Structure 1
Amino acid sequence: MKLLLNIKKENDDLGKQVNNLANISFLAKHIKHFIAALLFASSFNIQGQELLYNDGEKYTLGDISVSGNTSFSEQTIVAYSGLRKGKEIKIPGEDISAAIKKLWNSKLFSDIEIYITKIEDNIAHLEIRLSDLPQLNELKINGVKKSKKEKIIEENKLKKGTKVTENLRTTTKNFLENKYKKEGFLNSKIHINTIDVKDSIETARVNMVINIDKGEKVKIKDIVFNGNTVLSDKKLRKSMKSTKKINRFRILKRSKFIDSAYQADLSSVIEKYKENGYRDARILSDSLIVNDNKTISLKIDVNEGELYTFGDITFIGNTIYTNEQLGRLLRIRKGDTYNGVLLQKRIADNSKPDAQDITNQYQNNGYLFSTINPVEVSADNNVIDMEIRISEGKPAYFNNVSISGNDKTNDHVIYREIRTRPGQLYSKANVVRTIRELGQLGFFDAQELVPDIKNPNPTEGTVDIDYVVKETGSSQIELQGGYGGGGFIGTLGLSFNNFSIKDIFKKDAYKPIPMGDGQKLALRLQASRFYQTYSFSFSEPWLGGKRPVQFSASLSQTKQFLYNSQTGNADKNRSFNITGITFGLAKRLTVPDDFFTLSQAVSFQRYDLNNYNTGLFTFGDGYSNNLSYTVGLSRNNTSIDPVFPTAGSSFSATAKLSLPYSLFNGVDYDALEKERDSNNAIISDNDSSTLEIEDASDRISEIDQERYKWLEFYKVTFKGDWYTQIVKDLVLKPSVEFGFLGAYNNARGVIPFERFFLGGDGLGNYSLDGREAVQLRGYPNQSLSDADGGTIYNKFSLELRYPITLAASAKIYALGFLEGGASYNSFTDYNPFNVNRSAGLGIRIFMPAFGLLGIDFGHRFDDIPGSPGSSNNWETHFIIGQQF
């Protein structure tokens, strides 16, 4: 029996070479060291001469047998090899090599050998001897979390039944070692063992155990630059956004080494030089020095090159815009220090989809297929002359505009927010604005909104676009209990933010409620021993379905019982009831731009007092009516996620006005004020009798009942928020607030309702009198205003936000804040800079089903009014359902 050719499982590298061999002579050069001499036995009348590979003879194949450890049938292996009985082949020759190669490429076998068993009458009988590669039976991974194991299995294709080769073991080991090194685990160790499975099943199988010891991430002790004279080590280290050396005072950026981040930061170093005119700067070499198992040092050698400046900048190919117009967008002049990074941003700023650059100028006006390429045409004497070569192309028009991914929200709710229409000229600005509007709806995951540009056709000037949305839960439930106000407080709230009132009588629409038309319906009930509140509200954002005019209506009922200090319970015979109803319209404007909204509302509240004598009112029996008109102007261009905006601003200015009743009701309020003062004097006079005091008190109650029968006031408020992304994901939010409550008639005075109560979490369990609870963390609730509330307040705050996760299921972000504010009773006391200050940290969690939850830890720097020595203390505030 003579061996023609074999490939064993240990020779994986050879197997790869065999796969690449193009002809038999090339194959011979690579396998001559382990091919046995092709000898024919003397019984075959051939003396033991060695057959040279190129001197093969032709034979007809006879029987072909199969042996070895394999679960495949003989017929299958022979058929797959391509050898067949009766075929004329050359031995040695390409047919034998091709058979070996084909069997090897199946990745099913090892120890593949082909023998000549005998030759008679020029007929060669062969034997194929091989063994199956073992299959993976069970895999055990030690040293990583369960959630990471599935990814390792997927990335390395280690599913049950996979053929286990030495190459598989080696590549898996190398992959994991490189993976963890890139993540900063330079001392990671990977061990892979296989164990043969011995059972009654004939198929060769093994169990594999992967032991992973990641070790600890190494930290960067130092980063040293060599060859730099223009830019200091400090500036170069600062340009490296993610690779930082150990600094105990730095919180946001860690000093752990991650190779992928380091490689990106090396490019940032070069970009820093380009920003400063050194366009030829390059990294000559970099090395990693291991100090010990915990720290490393990085050594980076740079060549700064020479300083360059801009020379002539010429625009070529532009017909739509003049050189002057494009120059104003480029904003780079001859003689300016060369800045390649700035040049690219002025042409196309990929970090800002709405940037004022040349590319957006074209794309916002239909030229989707335009290309702008800056080309250096001369660099003599370190002065770079540039040509901005522009290919404008044909204007593009939207052909098909579609939406996908919405299962609950009706198409018309989405289409009415889309600013790109079929047949309309392409505008990148309109695409970006559409994404913003869809994100602001609150029905979709703002982080997953994607405009899918399809079928761009430069020849015909058309393009399709599909807005891909991912719906999230838009309804919320509030079910809570707590202790406050002297007793247990229970709250049940339901808010349906994508309601469909037209389907309210359709049985099939309840899944579990009618949804999809973008309307909002909210119900809220709250009760304790001392008060009960019920409220209902509804809003339609597109009244009539034609224009973005929002209609809203709300109805509320509150009943407050007087606290009995003797029993500690509520006195149900003494109550204060408020019934309110409000109708509002809000219209999106087009001037100055369509981020503005003009809102108007008419509201009526009825206050009924039934033997309810407190310090708030001087009459315990009676009523007051509050008929008011509210007008507001707001602008909101925040983007994209309403829970976590990263850019834009939001401001609102409102005025709430009652009728000036004192101008036409014929009541002499000056006389009533004088009479009230005289009765107060009787009460204060120690010589007054009890009867005189009682008569004076009754008369004051009658006067106040007349003064407050119809409330007369005006109220002005302003609030502004700005959002700026300092670095990726880190957002700065400054805010300012102001409020003022005034009276038309000084003799009538400022009403005891609608006042401002500053301090605390900004949440009010109930608002009996239209009061506004204003947040100022670090202080107890409503502790910075008088007991009756203030008529003026201002507040300033600065918040730094960082997201932990912005997933659709739960958006979580941490924050730090500085804020200050104060409450006043008149402008004579008003000083906007004399504020109560605080600082602190907090966290917010937004879940679609429950709304916003959070906790703040605030530290105050000033005393609480009336409480000397109360500064430098901490307050904890729980936030439930507050605005973002």
Structure 2
Amino acid sequence: MKRFISCEPLITLLLIFTTTFSVAQELSFEDGKKYILGGLEVTGLQSYNEQTVKTYTGLRVGQPITVPGDELSEIIKKLWSLELFKDIRFDLVDIQGDKVFLELHITERPTLSDVKINGIKPRKVDDIIKDTDLKKGKKITESLIANTKNYLENKYKKQGYLNTKVAIAVAADTSQTNAQKMIINIDKGDKVKIKKMIFEGNEQLSDAKLRKAMKKTKEKRFWRFWKKSKFIEEDYRNDLSLLVDKYAENGYRDARIISDSVIKVDENNINIKFDIEEGNKYYFGEIDFVGNSVYTDRQLAAVLGIKKGDTYNGVLLRERIADDSKPDAEDLTNLYQNNGYLFSSINPVEVSAQNDTINFEIRIIEGKETFLDHVEVVGNDRTNDHVIYRELRTRPGNKYNKSDIIRTIRELQQLGYFDAEQIKPDIQNANPNEGTVDIKWNLVESGSSQIELQGGYGGGGFIGTLGLSFNNFSIKNLFNGEEYKPVPMGDGQTFAMRVQASRTFRVYSLNFAEPWFGGQKPVRFSLNLSRTQQFGVDYTNSTSNSIKVEKSRGFAITGITAGLAKRVQWPDDYFTISHALSYQLYEFNDYNIGLFNFGNGKANSIAYTLGITRNATAGGRIFPRGGSNFEITAKFTPPYSLFSNKDYESLRDRSIELQELRIDQGALTTEQAEELESVDQERFRWLEYYKIKFKGDWYTTLVGDLVLRTNAEFGFLGNYNNDVGDTPFERFFVGGDGLGTYTLDGRDIIQLRGYENQSITPYDELAGNNNSGGLVYNKFSLELRYPLTLKPSASIYGLAFLEGGNAFNNFQEFNPFQIKRSAGVGLRIFMPAFGLLGIDFGYGFDEDLLPSSIGNGPSGWQTHFIIGQQF
């Protein structure tokens, strides 16, 4: 909060030191005569108690007092210091013998009853009142008015409004005693722009290079949207040093700005003129290392990366010694600090300059090798200590290592239990003599569980969804009633359950994961159980307002998956290798969904999945700011047909023949339909396939908090035996928001904004529809992200995207450059209790693959709502 120092005008000082005494009667007395105080009366008070003021003066009836004298002057000073009064004086009322009777007359300052601010947006008023401390009841002084005026003018000048004018007026408030209203009129005017930057004296570096060197001070150009051309004094002063650094990067060590001036062009434009002295160009000479014993000269020279004869670059030299802009930079300081030498210091010193060559000594004080003494974690109110300590790379007794601190920050961010923006280590009790240091990890818990509660209308009736996800669960306290707050939490486990139901389907799923299975190593165990039921619907006898659900007919999928994933050390410890074994049972009862050509029977799938993941993102799970995340998975079923005596070639040929006959005739006879069911039942009793998927995400911080996410994806579903054919499950459905509903049949729902859900699906001639999915897909994305707020209660960021992708029937048709393109904008909101919510507005530039869209032009604008999607 801004604080103001009150300064009274000169008249105040005069009042203090020239106390005015008036006599009610015609009396005379000698200066500085001693009296006994016979009485004291306080007049002029409006809101203060007379006795309170008397007590504060310290005067008592009957005490000796010199009139006039220093004691009375000190009392006046003391009362002035309260800043509650605008007039204070002592009057001599009467003298009776050796007794003196005084009157203390006080005029109170008015109090502030209301503030009205004109010229700014209403939502900014409260911030202004808070910053200037203009709260009701505050005494109005000349300094308060002057300081408020100066603060507001400077505030807006710093934002580029150099012509800001502020007028403050006060008026009596008749509804209150001794109160005044304050009216503040702010005229910011237009922002003052930089019309032109003029450089004189520069011969070695062009005007364009010098303008580019100034990061936040730019000339007015019609194409410049991101970096504005407004003049801000603080940014301008910082950019002046960048001009000098630009010369230092190019060998001109002695370059300096002789003068710079701001020239007013008109009310809204200025020119800036620079007079530059470049000096001579220099080169690096001998670079000697002094004081090093831990590393050899050759090792240090390799990190320094500067050789004799190189053009002098003062900025590069400074960065290679210690690059403050990157905590994990490859510089000499980090080289020592990553090996335990916290107290090392490295200083480059120019030892001689001969002609155009500068010789350096890199003087190193290595200090004592440093070890961690105490490591403390605070702020984890819900998460148990062992969940945090197992992720720490900083342990008591370990050698101090700066890279371990940076990596620990990243690991704690990835947990998702704490506010990623507030994870900062506090280095304490550094003792260079003993070589010890303490680290205190200050954490702020954020919500790690979500609830999903939805209701809507679709599929002929109401659809209700209830989902609970506890991402910091404690299963060992499942039967401990005292730990239910509202559920047992703190052991870092994941427990999720989801139920979705309508008149036509039901879905149940249960998930559990333990990230440190066995408690000793980062081995993640996961278990998933799922059950889907889809009921038959009779549309022929239904009315427009209802459908007839036949629960005796239906399709069900029961699945179970168990997995193990281990973090490995090679090629580096960002890699995780995962294994999963799954079984799914598909049951059909008088129900044909168009995937299989049989409506009665069963199909089985046993699959093993191998995954290799390298997650090296930085900045938290919600809003990564750097790094990358790669994932490749391979899913295999046993090649049953290789060990079977079935004639799959004949079964497939007969199936194709009957399907083609269905197309020609429009329908099959009862005998032909039963034969087709029997043939495909034999072909797909045990599903066999292999499925390869790749996904890569790159995050790059461009400017400030602006982050670019680059994404590439590819998937292929193949078979071992062409006679068996391609499995109708596990396929790729591209288009839309990327959210799966109740599909637990192994299909992959691929987001492609700007198109309807699952509309980029190739046409299957035999099936006669677009419902079968693709066997190959690829997708590319560019996404610019900018955070609006990253607070624990809610993280919000906006985005703009370019996207392209497609799905194909087979690998022969696959063309990575034949893509459906889109662009748009969106918003994401992450709230701990509800997970990720968002909305995207995407424009599809091409036709989708739905029959109804062929020949109708681009997909156009589509709105997508994102609920619970992963980051």
TM-score interval for Structure 1 and Structure 2 normalised by the shorter chain: 0.7 to 0.9
SS of aligned partner of 1:300: strand
Whole-angstrom distance in 2 between the partners of 1:126 and 1:388: 80
SS of aligned partner of 1:599: strand
Whole-angstrom distance in 2 between the partners of 1:383 and 1:128: 82
Q: Which amino acid aligns with 1:642?
A: R
Correspondent of 1:727 among 703, 706, 711: 703
Partner residue in 2 for 1:467: 441
Partner residue in 1 for 2:737: 761
Return the offset for 1:449. Answer: 1.5
- Greater displacement, 772-781 / 156-165: 156-165
Whole-angstrom distance in 2 between the partners of 1:837 and 1:641: 30
Where do residues 123-522 of structure 1 align in structure 2 (5 Å cutoff)? 131=106, 133-134=108-109, 136-143=111-118, 148-149=124-125, 151-159=127-135, 162-195=138-171, 205-220=178-193, 222-227=195-200, 228-279=202-253, 280-282=255-257, 284-287=259-262, 289=264, 291-292=266-267, 295-306=268-279, 307-485=281-459, 487-522=461-496
Contact 1:270 1:283 survives alignment (8 Å):
no
Whole-angstrom distance in 1 between the partners of 2:265 and 2:13: 36
Partner residue in 2 for 1:781: 757
Partner residue in 2 for 1:599: 578
Partner residue in 1 for 2:9: 12
Return the offset for 1:198. Answer: 7.7
Correspondent of 1:826 among 794, 799, 810: 810
- CA change 1:17–1:85 in 2 (3 A) is same
Whole-angstrom distance in 2 between the partners of 1:437 and 1:321: 30
Q: Does 1:576 align with 2:576?
A: no
Deviations 1:246-282 (A, max 9, x none): 4443333344444333333333333333333334232
Whole-angstrom distance in 2 between the partners of 1:623 and 1:793: 29
Contact 1:217 1:256 survives alignment (8 Å):
no
Where do residues 555-566 of structure 1 align in structure 2 (5 Å cutoff)? 555-566=529-540
Where do residues 602-641 of structure 1 align in structure 2 (5 Å cutoff)? 602-641=581-620
Whole-angstrom distance in 1 between the partners of 2:32 and 2:801: 89
Return the offset for 1:487. Answer: 5.0
Whole-angstrom distance in 2 between the partners of 1:196 and 1:333: 75
- Greater displacement, 745-754 / 369-378: 369-378
Contact 1:196 1:206 survives alignment (8 Å):
yes
Whole-angstrom distance in 1 between the partners of 2:535 and 2:27: 120
Partner residue in 1 for 2:798: 814
Q: Does 1:878 align with 2:861?
A: no
Superposition TM-score, scaled by structure 2 size? 0.87
Partner residue in 2 for 1:860: 844
Whole-angstrom distance in 2 between the partners of 1:250 and 1:765: 44
Contact 1:713 1:750 survives alignment (8 Å):
yes
Partner residue in 2 for 1:646: 625
Partner residue in 1 for 2:766: none
Superposition TM-score, scaled by structure 1 size? 0.86
Whole-angstrom distance in 2 between the partners of 1:323 and 1:210: 69
Contact 1:364 1:428 survives alignment (8 Å):
yes
- Greater displacement, 632-641 / 412-421: 412-421
Contact 1:576 1:608 survives alignment (8 Å):
yes
Q: Which amino acid aligns with 1:732?
A: L
Q: Does 1:660 align with 2:660?
A: no
- Greater displacement, 871-880 / 633-642: 871-880
Correspondent of 1:590 among 561, 569, 572: 569
Return the offset for 1:225. Answer: 2.2
Return the offset for 1:643. Answer: 1.1
Whole-angstrom distance in 2 between the partners of 1:879 and 1:335: 58
- Greater displacement, 309-318 / 445-454: 309-318
Deviations 1:133-168 (A, max 9, x none): 526342424235666555545544444554443223
Contact 1:838 1:860 survives alignment (8 Å):
yes
Partner residue in 2 for 1:27: none
Whole-angstrom distance in 2 between the partners of 1:10 and 1:775: 64
Whole-angstrom distance in 1 between the partners of 2:59 and 2:347: 55
- Greater displacement, 392-401 / 864-873: 864-873
SS of aligned partner of 1:735: strand
Q: Which amino acid aligns with 1:648?
A: G
- CA change 1:753–1:685 in 2 (3 A) is closer
Whole-angstrom distance in 2 between the partners of 1:796 and 1:179: 45
Return the offset for 1:750. Answer: 1.6
Deviations 1:369-421 (A, max 9, x none): 22222333444545433333222221222222112222222222222212111
Q: Does 1:848 align with 2:849?
A: no
Return the offset for 1:555. Answer: 1.1
Whole-angstrom distance in 2 between the partners of 1:458 and 1:508: 47
- CA change 1:458–1:187 in 2 (3 A) is same
Partner residue in 2 for 1:51: none
Partner residue in 1 for 2:765: none
Q: Equivalent pairs: percent with the same residue?
A: 50
Q: How many residues end up aligned between the 2 structures?
A: 839
SS of aligned partner of 1:547: coil
Whole-angstrom distance in 2 between the partners of 1:685 and 1:305: 86
Contact 2:595 2:729 survives alignment (8 Å):
no
Deviations 1:499-546 (A, max 9, x none): 222222222322222222222121212223432211111112122322
Return the offset for 1:112. Answer: 5.0
- Greater displacement, 262-271 / 580-589: 262-271
SS of aligned partner of 1:816: strand
- CA change 1:211–1:594 in 2 (3 A) is same
SS of aligned partner of 2:518: helix
Q: Which amino acid aligns with 1:852?
A: L
Partner residue in 2 for 1:749: 725
Whole-angstrom distance in 2 between the partners of 1:414 and 1:134: 58
Contact 1:185 1:214 survives alignment (8 Å):
no
SS of aligned partner of 1:814: strand
Return the offset for 1:674. Answer: 5.1
Contact 2:19 2:90 survives alignment (8 Å):
no
Partner residue in 2 for 1:6: none
Return the offset for 1:878. Answer: 2.2
- CA change 1:400–1:341 in 2 (3 A) is same
- Greater displacement, 433-442 / 307-316: 307-316
Return the offset for 1:678. Answer: 6.6
- CA change 1:510–1:751 in 2 (3 A) is same
- CA change 1:352–1:10 in 2 (3 A) is closer
Contact 1:135 1:164 survives alignment (8 Å):
yes
- Alignment RMSD (CA, Å): 3.7
Return the offset for 1:870. Answer: 2.2
Where structure 2 has 5 or more consecutive residues not aligned to the other structure, the ranges are 1-5, 763-769
SS of aligned partner of 2:149: helix
Whole-angstrom distance in 1 between the partners of 2:708 and 2:331: 25
Whole-angstrom distance in 1 between the partners of 2:636 and 2:861: 39
Whole-angstrom distance in 2 between the partners of 1:297 and 1:257: 8
Contact 1:110 1:130 survives alignment (8 Å):
no
Q: Does 1:532 align with 2:506?
A: yes
